[in-house]
Amino acid sequence: MKKVMLIILDGLGDRPHPSLKYLTPLQAAEIPNMDLMASKGLLGMQYPIAPGVPPGSDTGHLSLFGYNLDEEYPGRGIFEALGEGITLRDGVAFRANFATVSERNGELIVEDRRAGRISGEDAEVLASEISRMSLLRGEVEAEFVHTLEHRGFLILRGDGLSSQVTDVDPHEVGYPVLEPLPIEEEAMKTARALKEFLIRSHEILKGHEVNRRRVKEGKPPANFILPRGASKPVNLERFGDRWGFKPAAVAAGPMYKGIARALGFEVHHPEGATGLPDSDFRGKIREALDLLGEFDFVYVHMKGTDVASHKKDPKLKVEVLERIDEALEQITDPPEDLLVVITGDHATPCLLGKHSGDPVPILFFGKGLPRDDASNFHELDASLGGAGWFLGGDLMKLILNYSDRSLEYGLRPLPRRRWYIPRREELTPLRI
């Protein structure tokens, strides 16, 4: 049995870019360590969710971790909250930013989705004005929790609430704020309560002296709360229980820490890890190697690649890839019992500056694996690799297979259906 290091390079997959002479960032980058692993290992292509479907940061990860999005996805809010250290126990929670809107023909147009990245006392004072609100004549109680900068969470509590409402945030500047619509009939009340909160909090915020002062200072007023990602607290099956691992995570971005916490990973955030292109990638891999003493599955998240893609900056992405490659030198001669897997949670083509539904290259590297002729870690070689093309939802089963942990189909040592060879302590010996 092998231990596993799963390295997710956020937004890894890409397309040819004119400023890279129509190469992809992976093709243009000098990445001798990844290429070495590719030539000795097994390449393939995976669609994190499904062909052509662009994953979100949360949904791409959940699918790769082997969770069925159609049945198990609780909405984004709870992962974001967990990432900020907030555990939601009841109600319906929304990620909710301070934003700047302006009225035009009776619509509210989003001018700035982050209200100029408002922070400090301004944000605290405004948050305190709307921190509690009684809605629908007392049937629903609202709580707004401010976290960092423009960020916060809105929680609605009361009987008969549902997370099946649409996003208020249009996700685009210049677009109107959206009416919250019920996705199912049971969500009518939630939609009405949310609408009341939006209108009343806008009333309070738009005339507030803090915002009047900000306008005078040429700063965008934080005159609206923009909710999205409605979710209900759920107990997702722990990753360790589902796949038979003792898992740890090395991550810096709040969202990724939140997902890891929700799935029961022990989360480590090494000093120097920033969730940005300047992160200490070397330190992250070192930390992951250390953790492999105590844990048998370590997930490492690197955000820099995605940040460069969102900036539409392929040269920055090349730089980030080259710095990550230097860090990977530490695992090019891995221990006998280590399976290394490198892939992304989605493609973020620099040309688009946003997530796409393109396939993402994946690399399996370790002793005793199948091999192929592919010798470079990039989209073209990966598309011809010996691991073929597969769906992200099958990744964990392939990881079990290549770490020699798969249970033969049909064997039934445990009452619950499992894909992995059970640990000794999970078995119930016959007592005579």
**Interface with a copy of itself in residues 154-193 (CB under 8 A):** 166-168, 170-171, 175-183
When the beta carbons of 196 and 290 are compared against a copy of itself, the nearer one is 196
* Burial of 80 from C-beta contacts in 10 A (0-12 / 13-18 / 19+): buried
Helix (H) or strand (E) holding 189: helix 188-206
DSSP labels for 379-402?
HHHHHTSTT-EEEGGGHHHHHHHH
Confirm or reject binding of residue 368 to a copy of itself (CB under 8 A): yes
Query: Are residues 175 and 167 in contact, defined by beta-carbon separation less than 8 angstroms?
Result: no
3-state secondary structure of 296: coil
Sites for a copy of itself among residues 79-138 (CB under 8 A): 103, 106-108
CA distance 167 to 95: 10
Query: Are residues 300 and 7 in contact, defined by beta-carbon separation less than 8 angstroms?
Result: yes
Choosing from 2, 6, 10, 16, the residue that interacts with a copy of itself (CB under 8 A) is 16
CA distance 49 to 62: 9
Confirm or reject binding of residue 232 to a copy of itself (CB under 8 A): no
CA distance 204 to 196: 12
The CB-of-151 to a copy of itself minimum distance in angstroms stands at 18
The CB-of-159 to a copy of itself minimum distance in angstroms stands at 22
Nearest alpha-carbon partner for 347 in 24, 20, 41, 23: 24
> Considering only 145-153, 248-256, 272-280, 352-360, which stretch makes contact with a copy of itself by CB under 8 A?
352-360
When the beta carbons of 22 and 335 are compared against a copy of itself, the nearer one is 22
The CB-of-270 to a copy of itself minimum distance in angstroms stands at 28
> Considering only 128-136, 224-232, 257-265, 285-293, which stretch makes contact with a copy of itself by CB under 8 A?
224-232
Q: What are phi and psi of 414, to 5 degrees?
A: -125, 150
Sites for a copy of itself among residues 304-343 (CB under 8 A): none
The CB-of-92 to a copy of itself minimum distance in angstroms stands at 13
Sites for a copy of itself among residues 388-407 (CB under 8 A): 388-391, 394, 396-402, 404, 406-407
Confirm or reject binding of residue 379 to a copy of itself (CB under 8 A): yes
Classify 371 in phi/psi space as left (phi over 0), alpha (psi -120 to 50) or beta. beta
When the beta carbons of 235 and 428 are compared against a copy of itself, the nearer one is 428
Strand partners of residue 46: 360, 390
Report CA 272 to chain centroid distance, whole Å.
20
Confirm or reject binding of residue 198 to a copy of itself (CB under 8 A): yes
Sites for a copy of itself among residues 47-76 (CB under 8 A): 49-56, 58-60, 69, 73, 75-76
Choosing from 359, 363, 376, 377, the residue that interacts with a copy of itself (CB under 8 A) is 359
What are 60's two structure tokens?
A: 């791409």
Query: Are residues 302 and 9 in contact, defined by beta-carbon separation less than 8 angstroms?
Result: yes
Confirm or reject binding of residue 411 to a copy of itself (CB under 8 A): yes
Sites for a copy of itself among residues 413-432 (CB under 8 A): 413-415, 419, 424, 427-432
Confirm or reject binding of residue 202 to a copy of itself (CB under 8 A): yes
